[in-house]
Chain A
């Protein structure tokens, strides 16, 4: 190793190594810059949550609760959460296409933290979720939704939605890393996310569900989310439902972040 430090090494050395979080921030910026170059993505990102809110409220709300206004009042915020929840598949799809492209080969061969490469994707999608939440929330307000909890209640509800999406995105990271085709990811969404949403109290009260499903609705994380949001928006402070939700989020992080990193390493050895 005596001749190891020949000329080229000295040529361009940067004194500081930035940490994994700084690297993740660079990766986040990279995903967001692509929005600036292709602004149409901003609209695409709104479509699913917006259509879910509007179509279910206007076309099914009256049937479910007598008038669509009453339904919007009960289910509007949770419907927004559900729309965004479905949109987490974009994290899986985005990562899948990243991994297929040559970019990730280059980045993976560089001295860059694996966590940063994955977290950058998740963080960028969180920015997009926040954007969609703002706009779709604005639309809900425009068609007549009012919160009894004031600004604090709205902020609390928004915070729990975003935290939950952040945790759930890591399940999609694992899916993106392990799926073989894009269709597989779409199938996951339909077969897992949708039943999960429909067996929660997002737009129905627990008592209206078939008895066999009620116990499941009680432990369903989307129920904890919907109920926490309702309490915030009614001006209260959620208790058990919020603790359950935080427990779910912690569990999702604890399980899916390490699993994703392991799946990333496995890709390299296969």
Chain B
């Protein structure tokens, strides 16, 4: 078995809408596959097919070599889903939720309680374990949801937008848990709208848009698709941006783009960046900050699709 997750030519339509339009995916055992795309790209449909919750119209999906359609029961034994909407019972306490899952999976009463306590400790929920989930914050809910998914540790864990709506510190905490699970050998399929999240966690990324995979590879391969590097310069005086742009155009043949008082100039290699920097210095433009970065996945997405991700449109409006 080369792949823990292997999807070929997956098609699924809802009425007129083709949610999946021939999707191919593959994830090696013990790695994280990031499924990156804006709202409505088909991520959740792909997740539902893999978790045996929705049947595809065409194509095959295999989890640990098992066909999700014809061997659904065996797939359910070895895969665990953390859906986009927390799979928790609001009327139950955190502990009761975990005990229920453990009992349904066959644990004895005492074993179920022991496992629930173990997870409550690990996910830092001890203070809230005996309160109904109703009153939990978004971050606590997500942690409990993830805990519920590993009550019996799955070989494949599917996380559908696990950090949507979380504050940065909760997000970081969740990432840490995912990394631990992967270190223990779990294969993870993660969907996300956040480019940074895919970059942080995924070993390989499939960029999905309108039901199709439009690019796939490692994060750095995807960045290379855009090509080269990005030189970031922030002048002390904002008025100098125009002058910087002219210099960039003259030196590397591209004016770059402005964002938040900085200029981002695509360069082919570090030498070009040095040449431009020395011109800037000769022109007497003071910079408060500068740096040479790999392109962000956001830029990858823009290059690939011609439009920005849903998450980014908001910041653009705000800027």
User: How many Å from the CB of B71 to the closest CB on chain A?
Assistant: 12
B108 partner residues in chain A, CB cutoff 8 A: 14, 16
Chain B interface, >50% SS class: loop
Instruction: Supply 6 further A-B pairs (C-beta < 8 A) apart from A14-B105, A29-B100, A37-B132.
Output: A13-B152, A14-B152, A34-B92, A102-B83, A105-B85, A109-B76
The reply to whether B104 and A110 form a contact with Cβ atoms under 8 Å apart is yes
* Residues A102 and B86 in contact in the complex (CB < 8 Å), given A9-B78, A37-B92: yes
The reply to whether A26 and B100 form a contact with Cβ atoms under 8 Å apart is yes
Does residue B103 face the partner (Cβ distance < 8 Å to A)? Answer: yes
Q: In residues 1-31 of chain A, which contact B (Cβ within 8 Å)?
A: 1-4, 6-9, 11-18, 23, 26-27, 29-30
Does residue A38 face the partner (Cβ distance < 8 Å to B)? Answer: yes
Chain B residues packing against A (C-beta within 8 Å): 1, 29-30, 51-55, 64-65, 73, 76-93, 96, 100-101, 103-108, 111, 115, 132, 148-149, 151-155, 184-186
The reply to whether B132 and A8 form a contact with Cβ atoms under 8 Å apart is no
Chain A to chain B contacts (Cβ below 8 Å), 6 pairs:
A1-B1, A4-B65, A12-B152, A15-B106, A105-B85, A106-B83
A26 partner residues in chain B, CB cutoff 8 A: 100, 103-104
Within the assembled complex, what's the spacing in Å between the Cα atoms of A37 and B133? 11
B65 partner residues in chain A, CB cutoff 8 A: 1, 4
Q: How large is the interface on A (under 10, 10 to 19, 20 to 34, 35 or more residues)?
A: 35 or more
Does residue A103 face the partner (Cβ distance < 8 Å to B)? Answer: yes
Within the assembled complex, what's the spacing in Å between the Cα atoms of A12 and B181? 13
The reply to whether A268 and B104 form a contact with Cβ atoms under 8 Å apart is no
The reply to whether B153 and A8 form a contact with Cβ atoms under 8 Å apart is yes
Contact of B106 among A7, A14, A270 (CB under 8 A): A14
Within the assembled complex, what's the spacing in Å between the Cα atoms of A269 and B72? 12
* Residues A111 and B73 in contact in the complex (CB < 8 Å), given A7-B185, A14-B105, A26-B103: yes
The reply to whether A4 and B64 form a contact with Cβ atoms under 8 Å apart is yes
Within the assembled complex, what's the spacing in Å between the Cα atoms of A110 and B101? 9
Within the assembled complex, what's the spacing in Å between the Cα atoms of A265 and B214? 32
Does residue A191 face the partner (Cβ distance < 8 Å to B)? Answer: no
The reply to whether A268 and B55 form a contact with Cβ atoms under 8 Å apart is yes
The reply to whether B54 and A103 form a contact with Cβ atoms under 8 Å apart is no
User: How many Å from the CB of B282 to the closest CB on chain A?
Assistant: 59
